[in-house]
Chain A
């Protein structure tokens, strides 16, 4: 039986009481039991899973997990529970395609299957690397002008008119409005005035700011998306529910933002995979999302390009692609920085497994662990996007992807923890002409050649299908 949003709010007030620390423990305990029950232990010899039965067992385990653990409402210290039938019926009600942007800039996220020939939807997203205010518009233009991106995320602004941009104070509102206006202006300047925005401002944390930004006077359109995060493993709060209450009645695209930590409350790679699939159920059932951004990351390295994280990415996407219609944006988190071979390799290694495993869209992505100011440039995300399109168009299988990724991983995996931060954007881009420097362009060319050696054919990108 389908569970309505009103019913979710009722259960948030009346569900069983539980201490938060007990809930955190339960997440790990249940995930561990289910890994045993469904025999889902991570085995390092496979990076890209190609066993459908494993994918299906993960989905079943995640359903059990969701039903057993539920969703925690932090203010009330209550758990919202769903039965198996309610979960399946509610997630069956989600959209199977979403339109970002409008007019000639309209682009669709389509539900993709494993090893699908449909291109994954592409979004460039420097959401965590702070960018200087004076360079903000040019910076956005440098990635918005890339035709392979179908929609845009905003970079983050940490200083506005000389003041730090802090959450829940006036500067958050001031900066966020300026951010959205600048984002839309940058889109106009690259000839894509109606492109879909996946977030309006990376500083817009509070609900009141989101509501302010929904005013079209600042550049938002109804085919933009708004992110709503699960605040920790299987937890939500009233601030996020307020956003749902507003956004679902306005018609914007509701996006879940789901980032469990591998090594955190759930446990290891297999346990975290179960928890992350269940996060997608949480998003569909509680946040009423149309699409979900998934960014599970390694608790120590803050990235998802390690062998176990790529495996996790493959099983999550496959489990969801085979068993439900929930749309998913698979979010790359790289450890290294721009203009480095490491970062290029990480990008290729992420784009391939995500695409062949049925990710509907690629969110590309965080560089330098999403934290170092100005250390983001589009060529690495673009490489991941191109690899994704090539994989789809060439019909690369999961087995082939596994072999390619296994061959590439040893070239950077030993550097985790000490990877190069690379160049700042101003070092690797001509910030007026918005073209990469010669050494950056050379690196891109070298990487194309290297990947062509693994059978990836860049020629297939010249014909759009």
Chain B
């Protein structure tokens, strides 16, 4: 069994989607529970890729390919079992804040979140504070995640918390922020629940906030 888990992890590290799917099928045939295959096999590979990315031993194209492999394997495993709601890590509504069209950071976090088992609703770029709130309510999100590259766009972020407060919704969602000009002290000053400096921290933060 542990040999198969090791192969699953390696398929992610090798960025090999075909092999990952093949191993997912092998796991199902061997009677391994899909969640075990994910948590003990594929997820550790994705975690290692994330750590390698933090050290820049791999770059974003490799992270995307590893996530593709991870997602392909998970999709295959999902075909054989109905995932209960509790088996998702949580729901995240994500986007770049109003006025900001720079989405590389947001896309990295999105990719890593999906690969880690979160349900992600990507609102895209230049998203108004009201849209963040409306969509979070609509999909019953756990987390609202915002990013910005420009100082003048970043300053729209506090409006999300302000709207949540005014609408009496603040307790329903955790609000997190990040991006090049965003500083942790500033983020907490307007009432965000979390800040992260990079993708690994963001994943850990989302896990912490949803468990």
Would B151 and A156 count as touching, CB distance under 8 A?
A: yes
A369 to B182, CA, bound (A): 11
| Cα of A455 to Cα of B151 in the assembled complex, Å | 40
CB nearest to A176 among chain B residues: B152
**A-chain residues with CB within 8 Å of residue B54 when the two chains form the complex:** 300
B104 interface hit (Cβ, 8 Å): yes
Task: Give A209's nearest chain B residue, CB to CB.
Answer: B152
B153 contacts across to A, CB distance below 8 A: 166-167, 205
A158-B107 CB under 8 A given contacts A29-B61, A263-B59: no
A166 touches B61 (CB 8 A): no
Could you say which of B33-41, B83-91, B94-102 contacts chain A?
B94-102
When C-beta atoms are compared, the residue in chain B nearest to A159 turns out to be: B155
Taking the nearest CB of chain B, how far is it from the CB of A221, in angstroms?
24
1/0 per residue, CB under 8 A from B, across A159-189: the answer is 0000011111000100000000000000000
Cβ contact within 8 Å between A302 and B180: yes
Docked pose: A167 CA to B53 CA in angstroms: 32
Chain B residues numbered 102-140 whose CB sits less than 8 Å from any CB in chain A: 102-104, 107
- Those of A237-267 within 8 Å (CB) of chain B: 237, 239, 261, 263-267
| A218 to B104 CA separation, bound complex (whole angstroms) | 35
Q: How many A-B residue pairs have CB under 8 A?
A: 92
Partner of B99, one of A32, A167, A300: A167
B33-74: which residues lie under 8 A (CB-CB) from chain A? 53-54, 56, 59-61, 64
In chain A, positions 342-383 with a C-beta closer than 8 Å to chain B are 369-372
For A74, A265, A302, A372, the residue with the greatest tally of chain B CB atoms inside 10 Å of its CB is: A265
Pairwise interchain contact A370-B98, C-beta atoms closer than 8 A: no
Tell me the complex Cα distance, A32–B59, Å: 11
Give which listed residue, B59, B98, B103, B181, contacts A167 with CB less than 8 A.
Answer: B98
Contact with B along A200-228 (1 / 0, CB 8 A): 00110110000000000000000000000
Select one of B60, B150, B151, B156 contacting A263, CB under 8 A: B60
A55 to B129, CA, bound (A): 46
Once the chains bind, are B150 and A369 in contact (CB under 8 Å)? Answer: no
Q: A263–B104 Cα gap in the complex (Å)?
A: 11
A166 and B156 form a contact (CB under 8 A)? yes
Interface SS of A by simple majority? loop
- Interchain nearest-CB distance for B41 vs A (Å): 25
Interface footprint category on B: 20 to 34
Quote the shortest CB–CB distance from A59 to chain B (angstroms): 22
Q: CB-nearest residue of chain A relative to B56?
A: A263
Which residue of B is nearest A240, CB measured?
B101
CB < 8 Å: which of B99, B181, B182, B198 contacts A168?
Answer: B99
A443 contacts chain B at the CB level, 8 A cutoff: no
Q: Are A267 and B60 neighbours in the complex by a CB distance under 8 Å?
A: yes
A233 to B156 alpha-carbon distance, docked (Å): 25
Contact check, B181 vs A265: say whether CB atoms are below 8 A apart: no
Q: Choose among B102, B104, B158 the residue with the greatest number of A CB atoms under 10 Å from its CB.
A: B104
With an 8 A cutoff between CB atoms, is B28 at the interface? no
Least CB distance from A211 to B in Å reads 17
Which B residue's beta carbon lies closest to that of A369? Answer: B180
Interface residues on chain A, size class: 35 or more
Are the C-beta atoms of A74 and B150 separated by less than 8 Å?
no
Q: Which of B64, B155, B181 interacts with A370 by CB under 8 Å?
A: B181
As a 0/1 sequence over residues 139 to 171 of chain B, the CB contacts with chain A under 8 angstroms (1 = contact) are 000000000001111011010000000000000
CB contact between A28 and one of B60, B100, B101 (< 8 Å): that residue: B60
CB contacts (< 8 Å) of A265 on chain B: these are: 60-61, 104
Question: What A residues does B53 contact at CB under 8 A?
Answer: 263
CB neighbors of B among A266-319 (8 A): 266-268, 271, 298-300, 302
Smallest Cβ-Cβ distance to B68: which chain A residue = A25
Which chain A residues border B98 with CB–CB below 8 Å?
A: 166-168
The answer to whether B104 and A300 touch across the interface, beta carbons within 8 angstroms, is no
Contact mask for chain A residues 1-41; partner B; CB cutoff 8 A; 1 contact, 0 none: 00000000000000000000000110011001000000000
Q: Do B59 and A205 touch across chains, with their CB atoms under 8 A apart?
A: no
Residues of B within 8 A of A92 (CB): none
State the CA gap A305–B181 with chains docked (Å): 18
Q: Which residues of chain B are within 8 angstroms of A271 by Cβ–Cβ distance?
A: 59
Q: Assess the B59–A268 pair: CB atoms within 8 A.
A: yes
Across-interface contacts of A156 in B (CB, < 8 A): 151-152
Q: Does A128 contact B (CB under 8 A)?
A: yes
**Chain A residues within 8 Å of B99, by CB:** 166-168, 205-206
Given A128-B181, A299-B56, A369-B180 in contact, is the A164-B104 Cβ separation under 8 Å? no
CB-CB nearest 4 A-B residue pairs: A28-B61, A167-B99, A167-B152, A164-B155
7 contacts between A and B (CB under 8 A): A24-B107, A28-B61, A74-B101, A168-B99, A231-B102, A370-B181, A371-B183
Given contacts A74-B101, A267-B59, 9 further A-B contacts (CB under 8 A): A28-B59, A32-B61, A166-B99, A166-B153, A166-B156, A167-B153, A202-B152, A298-B56, A370-B180
